[in-house]
Amino acid sequence: MSASGIIGTFLGVRSPGTAYVLLHHYMGEIDGAFRAWGFARGGTGAISNAIADAAREAGAEIRTQAPIAKILIKNGRASGVVLANGDEIYADVVSSSVDPRLTYTRMIEPGNLPDDFLEGVNRYKFRGSSGKVNMALDGLPNFKCMPGAGAHLRGAMSISPSVEYMEKAYDEAKYGHWSSHPYIDMVIPTLTDTSLAPPGKHILSCFVQYAPYKLAPGLDWDTEKEKFGDNVVNTIAEYAPNIKDIILHRQVVTPLDLEREWGLSEGNIFQGELSLEQLFFLRPVAGWAQFRSPIKNLYMCGSATHPGGGIMGAPGRLAALEILKDGGA
Ligand SMILES: Cc1cc2nc3c(=O)[nH]c(=O)nc-3n(C[C@H](O)[C@H](O)[C@H](O)COP(=O)(O)OP(=O)(O)OC[C@H]3O[C@@H](n4cnc5c(N)ncnc54)[C@H](O)[C@@H]3O)c2cc1C
């Protein structure tokens, strides 16, 4: 329970506000199973592909590998976008699923937004706190506490032995260090979906906290990255001693990588912290929590809007309903 209270958040398990983060992770439901989590067959990308297929069937054209450089604004209205390659695409409605920092301070020319609104955007907190270590394995980890293969390996396995342990992991992060004894949430999706790896091989996906985006002076993620990965493997080895013998490949993803590769500002996995001052009617900015923006025909529809992050599609659906209400598209 304490782990669910801190996922994606730069707070400790005893910090005020984390009860909401717990609720956020528990309020979901899959096929009638309340607060269940699931694996998507084909990997998480299969969900995006399924949504894309449905959109194409409904007549949408989707461009990938087409980063947007600017949102076009004419007479206070969004009129389209300019791609990084210079192509201009005109539209009656522009809906952004990237965070407010990218949308309002990178994609919009200065002078188009009210100062108080921009102050709100600049106050919005990201503070990435999570890293990932993904491994391709030549077999299954053998846990000391429950040796051998079995159903226990098919669910989420969490290294979070005590509330004290979790809080100490945060103590280090507060001062800009990755946790030497981290919280690790592990899953082996290949036990549920054999299409993801050759027979006998497995994927071990580890979600790790804390990995603070802002490291202490003198430290940087490019040099800390593999040390962070080694520490995660060493930590797992305390519980599953065979782990080092079965690793075929390892991928370490730091908060800086999440920012560089996937456009998640400061590496926050939810496009901004799920802290109380930026939730509900305050997400992303007070007065602008209804998916609209000060610029006419420009909407936001991603995790930086209500109800926040997670693979649930709720912000997108709610934004679409508001766009329809306004008569858009
Ligand atoms: C490591 C990690 C683990 C997670 N674990 C879970 C989990 O177990 N369960 C869960 O429910 N959620 C999880 N999440 C959160 C979840 O993935 C996100 O909340 C969700 O994907 C957000 O969807 P979105 O559509 O709002 O935004 P995003 O998925 O962030 O989509 C935004 C898109 O915009 C693109 N983009 C960025 N810049 C530009 C640009 N300039 N031009 C055009 N496109 C651009 C990005 O490439 C991206 O495809 C996790 C996230 C991370 C990072």
| Position 146 pLDDT exceeds 70 | yes
Tokens found for residue 76? 């206070």
pLDDT of 34: 86
Q: Is 134 in the pocket of ligand 1 (CB under 6 A)?
A: no
The model's pTM: 0.96
Q: Which residues pair with 247 in a beta bridge?
A: 137
Of all helices (H) and strands (E), which one includes residue 204? strand 202-209
Instruction: Kindly report the length of the chain.
Output: 329
Residue ID of nearest Cα to ligand 1 atom 18: 310
Using one digit for the tens of pLDDT, what is the confidence trace for 43-99?
Answer: 999 999 999 999 999 999 999 999 999 999 999 999 999 999 999 999 999 999 999
Task: Ligand 1 pocket test: pick from 7, 97, 157, 208 the residue with the most ligand atoms within 8 Å of its Cβ.
Answer: 97
Q: Cα(159)–Cα(190) distance, rounded to whole angstroms?
A: 20
Q: Cα(101)–Cα(54) distance, rounded to whole angstroms?
A: 29
pLDDT of 242: 98
* Cβ 6 vs Cβ 20: under 8 Å: no
CA 238 to ligand 1 centroid distance, Å: 32
Q: How would residue 27 be classed by pLDDT, with cut points 50, 70 and 90?
A: confident
By CB atoms closer than 10 A (0-12, 13-18, 19+), residue 219 is middle
CA 260 to ligand 1 centroid distance, Å: 13
Q: Is 311 in the pocket of ligand 1 (CB under 6 A)?
A: yes
Q: Which amino acid would we find at residue 141?
A: P
The number of C-alpha atoms within 13 Å of 42 and in the hemisphere containing its C-beta is 6
Q: Is 112 in the pocket of ligand 1 (CB under 6 A)?
A: no
Alpha-carbon distance values, 128 to 60, 166, 265 (Å)? 33, 17, 8
CA 225 to ligand 1 centroid distance, Å: 21
Average pLDDT estimate for 255-265: 97
Q: How would residue 329 be classed by pLDDT, with cut points 50, 70 and 90?
A: low
Q: Cα(154)–Cα(208) distance, rounded to whole angstroms?
A: 19
pLDDT of 38: 86
Hey, CA dihedral for 168, 174, 223, 246, is it positive or negative? positive
Q: Is 30 in the pocket of ligand 1 (CB under 6 A)?
A: no
CA angle 142, 147, 152 (to 5 degrees): 85
| Position 152 pLDDT exceeds 70 | yes
pLDDT of 36: 83
- Ordered by where they begin, the domains of the chain are 3-18+128-266 (3.90.660), 67-125+273-325 (3.50.50.60)
**Among the listed residues 267, 251, 323, 260, the one whose alpha carbon sits nearest the alpha carbon of residue 290:** 323
